[in-house]
Structures are given as C-alpha cells and as structure tokens.
Amino acid sequence: MSRVTRRLFWLIPLVLVPVPLLLNPYQQYVVNTALLYVPVGIGFNLVVGNLGLLAFSNVAYFGLGAYTSGVLMAHLGLPWWLTVIPAGMVGGVAGSIASIPALRGVRLFYLAIMTLAFGELMRWTYIRWEVLTGGSMGMAVPTASLFGWSLDTDRRRFYAFLAIVVLIVATTDRLLRSRFGRAFLAIKDNEIAAAAMGIPTDRYIVLAFAWGGAVVGLGGAMFAISVGHLSPISFDLTELIRQFAIIMVGGLGSLTGGIIGAVIITAAPQVFTSFPGFDELVFGLLIVLVILFLPRGLASLLARAHPAFVDRYYRD
Amino acid sequence: MTDAQLLQLRDVTVRFGGLVAVDSVSFSVNSGEICALIGPNGAGKTTLFNAVSGNVVADSGSILFRGEEIRQLTPHEISARGARRTFQNGGLFRDLTALENVLVGLHAQVASGFIGLLFGNRSAAAEAAATRRARELLELMGVGAMADQKAGALSGGQQRMVEIVRALATNPPLLLLDEPAVGLAPQARQQLAAIIRTLARERGIGILLIEHAIELVMSVADRVIVLNDGRKVADAPPEQVRADRAVLEAYLGHA
Amino acid sequence: MMLSLLPQLLVSGISSGMLYALIALSMTVVYRATTVVNFGHGDMVAAGAYAVFVFGLGFGFPFLVAMALAIAVLFLAGFATQRFLMQPIVAGPHLSLAMMALAVGYTIRGALRLEWGTETLNPSRPYPQDIYMFGNVVITTDDVVICGFVLLLLAALFLLLQMTPLGKVIQATFQSQRGAALVGINVPMFHALMWGGGAALGAIGGVMLSMITPLTPDLGQWTLVQGFAAMTLGGFGSLGGAVAGGILLGITEKLLGFYANTVFIEITGYLVPILVLLLRPQGLFGRRAIVRV
C-alpha cells in the first residue's frame, strides 16, 4: 500500500472529530460503544487471526480490564485516566498467563477449551470476590475524569476514547507491519520452519498474547466508564460470541477487518429491537453464514475492491 | 580441533523409548566441505539430522558447532548461531509470498527493535533495506520473477530454490539440506548440484545433506557418511565408499 | 475430617457423575467420529431438556413419548448440523470448525431464550420423589433413576458396539476412516449419523436434567464446561474414559466441595481442563498424546 494511501487513513479520525455535534446522546453512546470495541476486535484478531492460535479467552481480558479500572476508581478513588494503564497491564498479564498452555505445545481444540475455561474462571472470580467487585449485583463505576476535566457526558468520553483508540490502532498496525507481525504469520503458517529461521517462537507467542490482552484490557477500561455499571453477566459466553462475530464478520487477520467488524456488530443490534436471546440468535446465524459464504470476512470484499484497502499482513 | 572444523559430532546417540535410532555416531564437517549423509530407510539419517538442527534432542554425546556445544539448544537458538536448514517437504510458509519467505529468513537481520517500532521511522527503513536484499537474493538464484507469488503456488523446483535462498539469507556458515533433490527433474538436479558446489567452493559454506539420489551425492560430495541401523558404517570420499563392502551389504541387506 | 459423611458424598458424587458421564460420552461419540469438538453440544443437551418439556407438559404426551420425540428431534438436529454446516467446511481451518459449532450452539441458546428467557421451568419428574435410607446414607429416587438409566444405557451401548454387526462397523470406522471407506462404508454419512447419535445421547442427558434441575437457557454453558472437564479427565477420545471421567468428576466435586471448600462445587469444572491439560494431557485413559508442536 502506497505511503499516500496510508496517510489518508489518518484523515478518518479527523473526520470523526466533528461528528459528535450531529448526534443525540443515545446515538453518541452507540458510537462510543463501537469505538471501544475496536481494540477488543483488534486484540482478539491479533492472536486468533494473525498468530493463528485458538485462544478463546478474550472476554477475560475485557472483563479484567473493566474491573481493574472500576475497582481502582471505586475503592482507591483514582481518577479514570490513572486506571487506564493498569487496566491494560492487567489485560497484558492475563494474556501472558493464557499463553502458557500454548507455550507448552497445546493447540487446537484443547487450547480453545482451556482458554474458555480460563475466561469462565475469571467471570466466577468477579462473582465471588464480592468485596471488590460487588458480586453478581455488580458495582457502580464513578464518573470518569481526564486530568481534572470531567468525562460525564458521552460526547466528552468520545474524544477520550478516540485518542486512545487511534493510538492503539496506529501502534498495532506498526507491530503487524514490522518483522514481528511477519513472524506471527510465519508461526501461524509453519511453526517449525519459523523456529528454523531463528524466530524465538515462544517469546513471540507471549508477545502476541500479551499485546492482544493489553489492548482488549484498554477496551475494558473504556467499557467501564461508558456503561457506568459493571456486572459479571456482561462478560459471559454471550459476550464471547459477540467478539467472535466481530472478527469473523470483519475478517480474520485484518486490522481493518477488526475495525469494520466492531462497527457493524455494535450498529447491527440498533437496527432491530433487542429481546433477550435475539443477540445470540442473530450473532450465531451471522457467524454460520459468514463461515459458509464469506469465510475471510468483509475485509476480503474490501481487498477485492481495491488493493489499497488490504493490510499487508492480511492473507486472502 | 582446528578452526575449520565447523560441525563436530562425537558419540551422538538418540533413543526413542527402547529403540536406538542413532547409535554413537561421530563425524565432522569442515567449512567449504560438502558431506552427504546416506543409508537405507530407517538408518537414522533424518533423526541424526534433526539432532543437529535441534528438532530432536540427542540423549548423549556431543554436538559442537564452531566449538560450542549445541546438543541441548532449541532449533531457533541453533539457527541463530548460523546453522540453517531446509526441510524435505513442507518447509516453506505456503501462504506467504516467496519474498516474504526470504524476509522471514532474514528476520534476525532486519534492524528494527521493539521500542523503535512504536516510534520513529527506523522500522520502515529497515524493512525497505531487507526487502531490497531479499529480492536480490531471489534474483541471484533465478527465482526473482516469482518473488510476489504465494510460495504454495510455485512449482516444486521453484519452492526448493526459494527455501534454499531463505536458508542462505543470513550467510550461514553451515547449511543443512534435507533431501534437496527429491522430486526434482534431472535438469533441476544438475542445477542444484552446481549451486551446492558453488556455495561450498566460492562462499566457504559447510554443507551437510541427506540424499537418496546417489548420482547427485557422488558428483557433489567431498565425503560420504553412510549410516545403517543407527551406526556409522563408512566415512570417506565417494569413490572409496562406492567400493566399500560394508556399504554394499547395508543396502543389499535392506533391499 | 468427618469421614462418616464420605459414603453419602460418594453416593451423590456418583449420581451426578453418571450424568456427566452421559454428557461426556455423547460428546466423545461426536469427537471420535469426526475429530471435531462440538462446542455447541452443551446447548443441544439443553435443547433436549426443553424439548421434553415442550412435548410433555406442552403437548401433553406421556413422558416416554415426549422423551422419544425429544431424542428424535435432537438426532435430526445433530445430523443436519454435521451434514449441512460442518461437512462443507470440513477441509477448512480448525477455527472455522470450532466457531461453526459454537455458533450453532448460540443460535439454539438464543432461540431458547427468546421463547423462555423470562421464565425458569421447574423440574418435572415422571416418578414420585422418595428417599431411601441405608444406614446414614440418603439415596433419592433421582439418584436411583439416573444411575439406573445411565447404567442400562451404557450396557445397551456396550452390547451394541461389541455384539452387533453395526457396532463392529462403528468401531472399525472410529479406528480407521480410510480403511472403512475402502471397504465401502459411506464415511460422510457415518459422520452425520454419529453427530445425530451424539446429539441423541446428549438429549437423553438433557431429559435427565429436566427431571432434576430447573431449566434456564444458560444450562448449555454449564453442560459444555462439565462435559469438557469429564472428557479431559478421562482422556480425550476415549469412550470408557468419558464415563470414568464423568463419574470421577462428580465424586471429586462433592469431596472437594465438602472437605476443602464449597467453591469447588462450582469451579472444579473450570479447573479440571486447565490442570489436566497442563499436567497430564492424556488424562486417565487417553490413548494418544494430544496435539503438540
């Protein structure tokens, strides 16, 4: 992709800046949600799509990031901006922990089962550690502030989120386009050959898991102040299917796909009124259809439209 | 032990459960020397090869590479020290282009560190330099035209060439070739032989190869090491090995 | 240590273990046939539970008829899922297979929640509830019915596999698909039938669940976790291991729950896959080593 077209992508955040002026509070909330799900999709895609490992623990990082932020704010009185980095770090550490079975050679369905169990174990922790998290009833998240500027409206939160998400997208893009990103693809393609070429596969697996976890954790921190109230039910397997839908619909292994997926999966439920169970039904069907008819996601359609839209690390 | 002794195996033994796959094998490979490892099926050639590259851990003995013990090192550590290998099949990154395959081969030499990649332009410059070098290497080996095609889509001979380019990308002092001629037509085999000879004579690279194609071995090897039932049965220049009784028995016995 | 309660714990452990065994067995049948783990299996079990409710209390059929119908419906569901959703992508990446199964499960769960999300269906037993005392050990009719039924089912399955020609065919195809194809067995049809069979067995487990626990749409989630735990404990891919793993899981839950801490009743199912796959990946009776790089 040429330098010029890459620079054009920086226009997108600029174009987004005046958008809040056109939105009512509810619409703004939806946009915020789409925005904070972008890093969630990106982090998930990095491990599952680029590195190619079946790690089903993404919701764990999301929840841990959210609760870290919420707990630090509620119990230690920290302002939100000071909890963001800890949330990311907790996500990163959780990702590193989840990579342990992968380092020991566990792959495929076994890895999926273990990481799924890990995610559920975390959810059980939110429920049981009532003193900290408020248990099943959940906890209220105090109003956020950014260096003293109160983030009490969705519009203000939008700008805070936008800054964070742009940073995440830019750095992750650089990572994927570097030799590290290429090493991830090599490991995904042929792990033994990758090692034979001098790539320290263990280290890179941990890197991918940690980065993915950290980025999703940051999404969690944004989630915490966007919804204002955390409860364990937000981080159950239904949430996992939503996150799967994001990367499947968007396109595995594509950063752009992660962004598109986040926007579509957040926007879609707004189009129809949501009864309990409707989300699951629709996301389930959507994933079935995507796997059958558009297995490489919407990113593959984009790629066919114009090569400029293709991330270099995305494989059709 | 002289400086030229690139690779030295002493009493290397590899066991799988109760089975002794490699039994106390010793030999050495010098810089600029081409050593062929031959023997009937099941003789232990692949296991021995894998022990050198680190894909299998030898149970006892010593494997010295440039004087350093590598028996218990991992494959990526051994590769980083300059002993690079190809695979008999399935060695390429099929979904990456030929160029990207070579870039992965160059991985250690692309000058972009982790912190540097987040800020500044060093990453882009390093990538560009690596890409240029990778294209040159592919061009040199006659596969420059397919640099941007997916490796999985190339012909067998082209794939073989790309894999060799990839292994050579970092100028390794020792090259381990796992049955490089398998599936190649006679003309391609001759090309391969010429390349192997050039690498050893002109670039001083030490080469250890497993091969079943006897004519290739005879025309290219400085020394032939014959394995049978895990044990070394001969270690001599090709003409001598050709006439060796023990070698004949090994092959006939397994016929 | 109150050892006097040990017999009681063992009894209830075996009782719930039998149920886990059935669920794990149903998942293993699918796995042995196609080497695919059905991540939607838990939701199929839940669907079986709801199905017997619909046919029984809804349509008014007698219990056994309702159960037969539920089994038939789930057999069809399993068959159709494999035939139309899994078979087309069987050569694709493992992620797609896992995701497809998971997505089917979620679709089922969503449908269940749409219909019954706001209510909890109470357990309905086709037999009078009673208890029997043996010394100071209490055995409920639930325990008797479940253990008895599962044992009968296991015996029937064992006889089927060992004594009938069909059983021999099934065993042979489990062991070597290529060999089976060579002797003329329609392997794709076999796959679909086994998914149907696994779903049917799972449905029986669902029927049992409907007799003893209140039903919510999230039952599938719990069932999946327990099934995985039992399978991993017994050894992935081993039919006997699935049964042994299930019973062992049930006993372990009860023992840890009483002697260590009540939390273990909830989290043993989560901890087992993690610990077993890290420490002894082949479980108790697993044959081959799991996929390792």
In a domain, C288, yes or no: no
In a domain, C290, yes or no: no
CATH number of B1-82+172-255: 3.40.50.300
Query: For A210, phi and psi rounded to 5 degrees?
Result: -65, -45
Nearest by CB to residue B104, choosing from A175, A192, A194, is A194
The domain total for chain A is 1
Q: How many CB pairs under 8 A join A and C?
A: 146
Mean pLDDT of C22-30: 94
List the CATH number of the domain containing C151. Answer: 1.10.3470
Nearest residue on chain A to B121, judged by CA atoms?
A174
Residue A1 has pLDDT above 60, yes or no: no
Mutation target to probe the A interface, by most A beta carbons within 10 A, among B55, B117, B160, B170 is B117
In a domain, A20, yes or no: yes
In a domain, A259, yes or no: no
CA distances from B57 to B48, B52, B53, C13, C229 (A): 10, 9, 9, 44, 33
pLDDT at B1: 45
pLDDT at B252: 62
pLDDT at C27: 94
Nearest by CB to residue A124, choosing from C99, C114, C266, is C266
* Residue C21 in tokens: 């065994």
Touching subunits of B (3+ CB pairs, under 8 Å) are A
What tens digit of pLDDT does each residue of A113-142 get?
A: 899 999 999 999 998 888 888 888 888 888
pLDDT at B136: 92
pLDDT at B166: 95
pLDDT at C238: 87
Residue whose C-alpha is closest to residue B229's, from B210, B203, B247, B205: B247
| Tokens 């487990």 belong to residue | C205
Contacts of A105 in chain B (CB under 8 A): none
Measured in angstroms, the CA of A274 and the nearest CA of chain B are apart by 41
In a domain, C223, yes or no: yes
In a domain, C54, yes or no: yes
Which residues are registered as beta bridge partners of A98?
none
As a whole number of angstroms, the distance between CA B151 and CA B134 comes to: 14
Nearest residue on chain A to C224, judged by CA atoms?
A113
What tens digit of pLDDT does each residue of A198-227 get?
A: 999 999 999 999 999 999 999 999 999 999
Touching subunits of C (3+ CB pairs, under 8 Å) are A
* Residue B200 in tokens: 């050893």
Q: Do C103 and A280 touch (CB under 8 A)?
A: no
Residue B183 has pLDDT above 80, yes or no: yes
Mean pLDDT of C42-55: 94
Nearest residue on chain B to A167, judged by CA atoms?
B118
In a domain, A95, yes or no: yes
Domain spans of chain B?
1-82+172-255, 94-169
pLDDT at C291: 44
Chains C and B touch (3+ CB pairs under 8 A): no
In a domain, C119, yes or no: yes
Torsion of CA A93, A99, A101, A106, to 10 degrees: 170
Reported as a pLDDT band with limits 50, 70 and 90, residue A261 is very high
Nearest residue on chain B to A202, judged by CA atoms?
B76
What tens digit of pLDDT does each residue of C197-253 get?
A: 999 999 999 999 999 899 999 899 899 999 999 999 998 888 889 999 999 999 999
As a whole number of angstroms, the distance between CA C209 and CA C40 comes to: 17
CB-count burial class (<10 Å; 0-12, 13-18, 19+) for A30: middle
Q: Do B53 and A196 touch (CB under 8 A)?
A: yes
Q: Which residues of B touch A (CB under 8 A)?
A: 53, 55, 74-76, 79-80, 84-85, 87, 90-96, 100, 103-105, 107-108, 110, 112, 114, 117-118, 123, 126-127, 130, 166, 170
Which residues are registered as beta bridge partners of B38?
B226
What tens digit of pLDDT does each residue of A133-179 get?
A: 888 888 888 888 877 778 788 888 899 999 999 999 999 998 998 89
pLDDT at B121: 67
What tens digit of pLDDT does each residue of B125-176 get?
A: 888 889 999 999 999 888 899 999 999 999 888 999 999 999 999 999 999 9
Mean pLDDT of B43-58: 93
Nearest by CB to residue A241, choosing from C106, C217, C292, is C106
In a domain, A273, yes or no: no
Tell me whether strands B83-85 and B174-178 are parallel, antiparallel or unpaired. Answer: parallel
Measured in angstroms, the CA of C111 and the nearest CA of chain A are apart by 6
The domain total for chain C is 1
pLDDT at B220: 93
Domain that holds residue A141: 3-174+190-234
Nearest residue on chain B to A170, judged by CA atoms?
B118
Residue whose C-alpha is closest to residue C220's, from C104, C124, C59: C104
Q: Do B117 and A174 touch (CB under 8 A)?
A: yes
Reported as a pLDDT band with limits 50, 70 and 90, residue C289 is low
Measured in angstroms, the CA of A142 and the nearest CA of chain C are apart by 30
Proportion of chain A above pLDDT 70, given as a percent: 95
Q: Do A281 and C292 touch (CB under 8 A)?
A: no
User: pLDDT: is B213 or C244 the higher one?
Assistant: C244
In a domain, C57, yes or no: yes
Mutation target to probe the B interface, by most B beta carbons within 10 A, among A50, A168, A179 is A179
Proportion of chain A above pLDDT 90, given as a percent: 62
Nearest by CB to residue B79, choosing from A186, A189, A198, is A198
Reported as a pLDDT band with limits 50, 70 and 90, residue B255 is very low
CA distances from C50 to C15, C53, C127, C251 (A): 22, 5, 18, 27
What tens digit of pLDDT does each residue of A6-50 get?
A: 677 778 888 888 888 888 888 899 999 999 999 999 999 999 999
In a domain, C286, yes or no: no
In a domain, A275, yes or no: no
Proportion of chain C above pLDDT 90, given as a percent: 52
- A180: Cα within 13 Å, side-chain hemisphere: 25
Q: Do C103 and A48 touch (CB under 8 A)?
A: no
Domain that holds residue C199: 3-279
In a domain, A114, yes or no: yes
What tens digit of pLDDT does each residue of C155-199 get?
A: 999 998 888 988 888 888 888 888 888 888 888 999 999 999 999
Mean pLDDT of A103-118: 89
Secondary structure in 3-state letters for chain B: CCCCEEEEEEEEEEEECCEEEEEEEEEEEECCCEEEEECCCCCCHHHHHHHHHCCCCCCEEEEEECCEECCCCCHHHHHHCCEEECCCCCCCCCCCEHHHHHHHHCHHHCCCCHHHHHCCCHHHHHHHHHHHHHHHHHHHCCCHHHCCCEHHHCCHHHHHHHHHHHHHCCCCCEEEEECCCCCCCHHHHHHHHHHHHHHHHHHCCEEEEECCCHHHHHHHCCEEEEEECCEEEEEECHHHHHHCHHHHHHHHHCC
User: pLDDT: is C120 or B78 the higher one?
Assistant: B78
Nearest residue on chain B to A176, judged by CA atoms?
B117
Give me the amino acid identity at B85: R
| Tokens 């393609």 belong to residue | A189
As a whole number of angstroms, the distance between CA A66 and CA A235 comes to: 10
